[in-house]
Amino acid sequence: DELALKSMINLEEYYSVAGCYFNDAISSEMREMLSVWMLEICEAENVLNEVFYTAMNMFDRLIYSLAKSTSFKLDKSYIQLFGTCCMLLASKIRSNVQLDTQRLVQYTDNSISLQELLHCELFILEKLKWDTNCVAPNDYFEYLSHQFNLCQHAQAAEIKKHFYALTALCSTDFKFSLYPPSTIALSCLLTALSNLKAVEIDLHNLLNQFAHIDYERIRLLREQIEAAFLSKSIDNQDQKVKFEDDYDFD
């Protein structure tokens, strides 16, 4: 639906992360560790793919706001609490089943209490002015799948699985949070199709549907995604691992 597509694209900027927020309280490495931990929980709890992206978007917007605040001193001791609470809120927005609060506390090795989690929930809602939803890259999959005629493709299930793995990977790396979700979605799908050697795409024709994305930006982003994918696909013994199997949310 072209109207829905235009509406999602128009909303992207509103929910974008304004910029980098790293400081003494939180480093890029700390965010990556937290995001991988959150991804593993989302996988273990079998929540929808969009829950993880929404949680990370919420977390990034929250931390950016707090890092710039003069009335709140951001400390690293809050980071896991904020991440846990963002997952809880995201599950309420994006999933039919809310993440269990007691289990979330257990995932932290009881480093936070149930009372702290519930109190933090209200704190985050107030800081984000109760606007916690966002447009996620996975929201574009059905539209792109239709544009690429993938619904009846012999590898349709593998393409979707690979696409979800790549969008999840992007959410664990802060630099990708600075790109619009539509750009991430298109780049991840093109990367998935290329990796699976599934479909030849006329990219220039497709970009007519996404006037805000230029060819060079897609090319550069795909290179970054490929590099990140290859990095994650090698374990400590330099052996290949199946990233899409590790992060299968279906």
What confidence category does residue 36 fall into, taking pLDDT thresholds of 50, 70 and 90? very high
Tell me what pLDDT residue 240 has: 33
Residue 155 is predicted with a pLDDT of 81
Average pLDDT for residues 34-52, to the nearest whole number? 93
Q: Are 163 and 189 in contact (CB under 8 A)?
A: yes
Percent of the chain topping pLDDT 90: 54
Spans of all domains in the chain: 19-127, 137-246
- Residue 202 confidence (pLDDT): 58
Q: How much of the chain, in percent, has pLDDT values that exceed 70?
A: 86
The mean pLDDT of 114-136, rounded to a whole number, is 95
- Per-residue pLDDT at 3: 82
Instruction: Give the predicted TM-score (pTM) of the model.
Output: 0.86
pLDDT of the residue at 245: 40
pLDDT tens digits for range 62-102: 999 999 888 888 889 999 999 999 999 999 999 988 999 99
148 and 193 in contact (C-beta within 8 Å)?
Answer: yes
pLDDT-based confidence at residue 131 (cuts at 50, 70, 90): very high
Contact 94, 50 (CB under 8 A): yes
Domains 19-127 and 137-246 in one fold: yes
- Model confidence over 182-240: pLDDT tens digits? 999 999 988 888 888 766 665 555 665 666 677 788 888 989 998 888 887 644 334 33
Amino acid 138 reads N
Average pLDDT, the chain: 85
Mean pLDDT, range 48-62, rounded to an integer = 94
Could you give the CA distance from residue 108 to residue 241 in angstroms, rounded to a whole number?
Answer: 27
* CATH assignment, 137-246: 1.10.472.10
Local structure of residue 60 (DSSP, 8 states): H
Residue 239: the pLDDT is 34
User: Region 104-124: what's the mean pLDDT?
Assistant: 96
Residue with tokens 């090795």: 109
Whether pLDDT at 149 is above 90: no
> What pLDDT does 122 receive?
96
- Average of pLDDT values for 145-157? 79
pLDDT for 208 equals 59
Options 3.30.9.10, 1.10.472.10, 3.40.50.2000, 3.30.70.260; CATH of 19-127: 1.10.472.10
